[in-house]
């Protein structure tokens, strides 16, 4: 993340629009994560490149197949009607070829996931997953190229059927769009995006550090339940996700249930 915040303009999204994908609901009523991508070309050598980005939901951004940052659940939870966090990244090192792609996946996050007690409520802040981004590229001759979120972007859905803070994730490997975050991917079948009104919430840089992956824990014990289920004990209460290698037949469903009840459903595409 850029450290010289004094160089950041008061409104880093002055030339950008809030863009959204058609709403696709999962069987459980969740809003399905959306994929966004924009192809562009670099005409000469880059001196500096900076990305400003935020979302209604949580986002993961890529340039030419490489993660832009190590942030998890960005831009973080705010009262979206009043404040919207944004992040700023130095992406100069990712400007490596003539044809580029900026690709972003946006999930529900806290924006429209189920929140609250007694069954909770969906879409508390809104139901339109949306992206706001502005990439500024400065060439060695001083000319500036701006790639902004607008109606020239394309959108689709991927293998994640639903991804929720409290209700877990459903992933169907049959729907995997391999290479969707690379410039060589064929997005001719993707749809156009819709532009929304610019957020009325105040755009603010976060005051605290982001969520990051800080440690990898190995299982302490692996045992079987009386009903034959596999139980993995990590020896402590943690916040994180499971890295698991499984075997099965094509089309099998694998369900991971965490202690507090969240479930992750995986559908096998390539048996191994």
Higher pLDDT, 246 or 217: 217
Residues 164, 265: Cα–Cα separation, whole Å: 12
Q: Which residues contact 80 (CB under 8 A, 6 or more apart)?
A: 56, 111, 125, 126, 201
4: confidence class by pLDDT, cuts 50, 70, 90: very low
Q: Is 269 exposed, middle or buried (0-12, 13-18, 19+ CB in 10 A)?
A: middle
What is residue 9's predicted lDDT score, i.e. its pLDDT? 63
Question: Residue 161 pLDDT > 50, yes or no?
Answer: yes
Question: Residue 142 pLDDT > 60, yes or no?
Answer: yes
Higher pLDDT, 43 or 9: 43
Question: Residue 265 pLDDT > 70, yes or no?
Answer: no
What is residue 242's predicted lDDT score, i.e. its pLDDT? 86
Residues 228, 235: Cα–Cα separation, whole Å: 21
Residues 100, 63: Cα–Cα separation, whole Å: 7
Residues 113, 123: Cα–Cα separation, whole Å: 6
What is residue 43's predicted lDDT score, i.e. its pLDDT? 87
Largest CA distance in the chain: 70
Instruction: Please provide the size of the chain in residues.
Output: 272
* 64 Rama sector, left if φ>0, alpha if ψ -120 to 50, beta otherwise: left
Give me 186's structure tokens.
Answer: 């064929």
For 5-212, give the CATH class: mainly beta
Question: Residue 212 pLDDT > 60, yes or no?
Answer: yes
What is residue 8's predicted lDDT score, i.e. its pLDDT? 54
Average pLDDT of the chain to the nearest whole number: 89
What is residue 64's predicted lDDT score, i.e. its pLDDT? 94
pTM given for the model: 0.90
Higher pLDDT, 131 or 271: 131
Which residues make up the CATH 2.60.120.260 domain(s) of the chain? 5-212
271: confidence class by pLDDT, cuts 50, 70, 90: very low
What is residue 5's predicted lDDT score, i.e. its pLDDT? 37
Closest alpha carbon to 114 in 56, 167, 73, 162? 167
Higher pLDDT, 153 or 165: 153
Question: Residue 169 pLDDT > 60, yes or no?
Answer: yes
What is residue 10's predicted lDDT score, i.e. its pLDDT? 63
What is residue 7's predicted lDDT score, i.e. its pLDDT? 55
SS (H, E, C) the chain: CCCCHHHCCCCCCCCCCEEECCCCECCCCCECCEEEEEEEECCCCEEEEEEEEEEECEEEEEECCEECCCEECECCCCCCCCEEECEEEECHHHCCCCEEEEEEEEECHHHHCCECCCCCECCCCCCCCEEEEEEEEEECCCCEEEEECCCCCEEECCCEEEEECCCEEEEEHHHCCCCCCCCCCCCCCCEECEEECCCCCEEECCCCCCEECCCCCCCCEEEECCCCCEEEECCCCCCCCCCCCCCCCCCCEEEEECCCCCEEEEECCCCC
């Amino acid at each position: 993340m850029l450290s010289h915040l004094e160089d950041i303009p008061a409104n880093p999204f002055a030339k950008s629009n809030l863009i959204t994908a058609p709403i696709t609901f999962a069987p459980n009523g969740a809003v399905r994560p959306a994929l966004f991508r924009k192809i562009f070309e670099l005409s000469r050598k880059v001196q500096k490149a900076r990305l400003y980005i935020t979302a209604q939901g949580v986002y993961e951004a890529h340039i030419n197949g490489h993660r832009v940052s190590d942030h998890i659940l960005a831009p973080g939870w705010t009262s979206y009607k009043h404040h919207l966090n944004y992040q700023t990244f130095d992406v100069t090192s990712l400007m490596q070829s003539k044809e580029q792609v900026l690709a972003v996946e946006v999930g529900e996050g806290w924006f429209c996931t189920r929140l609250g007690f007694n069954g909770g409520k969906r879409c508390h802040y809104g139901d339109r997953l949306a992206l706001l981004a502005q990439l500024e590229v400065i060439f060695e001759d001083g000319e500036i190229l701006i790639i902004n979120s607008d109606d020239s972007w394309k959108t689709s859905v991927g293998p994640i059927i639903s991804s929720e803070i409290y209700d877990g994730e459903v992933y169907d490997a049959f729907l995997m769009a391999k290479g969707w975050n690379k410039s060589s991917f064929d997005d001719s079948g993707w749809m156009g995006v819709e532009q929304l009104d610019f957020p009325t919430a105040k755009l603010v840089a976060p005051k605290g550090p982001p969520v990051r992956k800080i440690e990898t824990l190995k299982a302490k014990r692996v045992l079987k339940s009386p009903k034959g289920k596999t139980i993995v004990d990590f020896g402590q209460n943690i916040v994180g996700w499971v890295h698991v290698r499984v075997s099965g037949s094509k089309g099998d469903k694998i369900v991971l249930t965490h202690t507090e009840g969240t479930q992750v459903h995986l559908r096998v595409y390539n048996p191994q």
